[in-house]
Structure 1
Amino acid sequence: MTTIDDLWYLTTQAEQRAEQVHHQLTDDYEEFLDRSHARRVSRPRFRTLAERIAEFGAPYGAHSVVYRPSGELLLVWHSGVEKWVVPGGEPDPGESFREAAERELAEEAGVEASYRGLAMNVRVEVRCDDYSTWGVLPLFEARVEHPTTPDPDDPDGEITDAEWFDDLPENTRDREDLLAWREFAFD
C-alpha cells in the first residue's frame, strides 16, 4: 500500500494562495520595499505555516511599521520569542491584512496611527526536509503624528511592553529589514 504524503498537496495550495496575495498586494500598493527570507523549520512547524499560507497567503499575518516624523520606530516586546518586534498578527475571519494590522497595533501598542500604504512586502520561504513553500508578510506603513506613550493591552498576553526607538536594539527581529526600510523611506 502506498501512502500519499499530504504535505505535497498542502504546499501546492499554499503556493497558489501566496501567489494570489502577492499579486493583490503589488497591484494595490506602490513604492514599497521588497525583501525575502528563507527559514528551515521542523516538520510540525512547517505544516502549521503551510496551513496558514494556504488559508491567508501569509504565514505570520500582517504587521505595521509604525514611525514618528522624527524617524523613531515603535517596537513591542514579544515574550514568546524574547525579542523586540513590529506589532502585528493573523487576521480574524473576514478581516483584510490592513484591518488586521490596525487591530493588532491597537491591541499590542495602544496607539492610533495614519496608515499610508505598504512599507514592505516580504517573501517568506519555509523549508523542511524535501518540502518548501512560500508566503507573503505584508508590513504596512503607519505614522503617528502626536506624541503618544504606547500602552499594550494584548489579549494573547505575548506582548508585554512597547517603546519608541531611534536606535534599534540588537535583539530586534528582522532588524536589517527595518533599517533598510528606514533608509528607503527617509532618504
Structure 2
Amino acid sequence: MVVSDLWFLAEEASQRAEQAHQRLRERYSGYLDDRCTRRVSRRRFRTLARRVKRTGAPYGAQTIVRRDDGEVLLVRHEGVDLWVLPGGEVREGETYREAAVRELHEEAGITADYGGLAVARRVDIRCSECETWGVLPVFAAAAEKTTLRVRDPDGEISAARWFPFEDLPADTRDRADLLAWRDRAAP
C-alpha cells in the first residue's frame, strides 16, 4: 500500500468516524466529550484506520462499571500489560452498547444496569504520513452481580478486580482520565 492509499483509507475512516460521532450525539445526551491523541506506527495506523472505517471506533466500546460501594471494575489486559476498563471491538451488526455489554460479560463474567453514555472520546490517530480519528464510547453502568469470572475467548484478559477509585493501580491505562471521569460516570 503506497502513502496515497493510506491517505485515502484515513479519509474514509474520518468520514465514518464523523457519522458515528453524529449518531452518538443523536442517541445520547449529558455525556462528557473528551479527546486524546495516539501516535502509532504505520502498520498499527493501517489496522486502526480499517477498524474505524468499518465501525467508527478504533478500540471498540468500553464500560465504567461501579458496584454499590463505589469501586470500579478493571480487567488485566495482557496484550498491553495494563489494567484497563472492560471493553473491546464492535462486531458486525452490533451497536456500541451491545459490544460493551458483550465484552463486559466475556471479560468479567457479570451483567450490569447501563445508565447511558458517560464519555464520547475522540481518538486522534497519527503516524508519520497520515492522520485520522475515531470515537471511543465509554458507557456507565452499575454492577448487578459482583462476583467476577473471566471468560475472554481471545485470551487477552487474565484477571478482573474491583478497585477503589482512590487506589487504582499505577499501571492503569488512562488512570488520570478515569479519576477525572469518576463523578460523571455514575449510572
| Aligned mates of 2:185, 2:100 — CA distance in 1 | 19
Structure 2 letter corresponding to 1:88:
G
- RMSD over aligned CA atoms reads 1.3
**Residues 33, 121 of structure 1: 8 Å contact kept:** yes
Match of 1:19 in 2: 18
Match of 1:154 in 2: 152
* Offset of residue 145 of structure 1: 4.3
* Offset of residue 101 of structure 1: 0.5
Q: Percent identity?
A: 57
Instruction: Provide structure 1 residue ranges, at least 5 long, that are not aligned to the other structure.
Output: none
Aligned residues: 183
Match of 2:178 in 1: 178
| Aligned mates of 1:35, 1:113 — CA distance in 2 | 24
| Aligned mates of 1:112, 1:28 — CA distance in 2 | 22
Q: Deviations over 1:87-116 (max 9, x none)?
A: 111112111111110000000000110011
Match of 1:77 in 2: 76
TM-score, reference length from structure 1: 0.94
Structure 2 letter corresponding to 1:173:
R
| Aligned mates of 1:74, 1:82 — CA distance in 2 | 16
Q: Which runs of 4+ in 1 moved over 4 A?
A: none
* Offset of residue 173 of structure 1: 0.5
Q: How does 1:34-113 map onto structure 2 within 5 Å?
A: 34-113=33-112
Give 2:162's match in structure 1, choosing from 158, 161, 164. Answer: 164
* Offset of residue 30 of structure 1: 1.1
* Offset of residue 27 of structure 1: 1.5
Match of 2:6 in 1: 7
| Aligned mates of 2:96, 2:113 — CA distance in 1 | 15
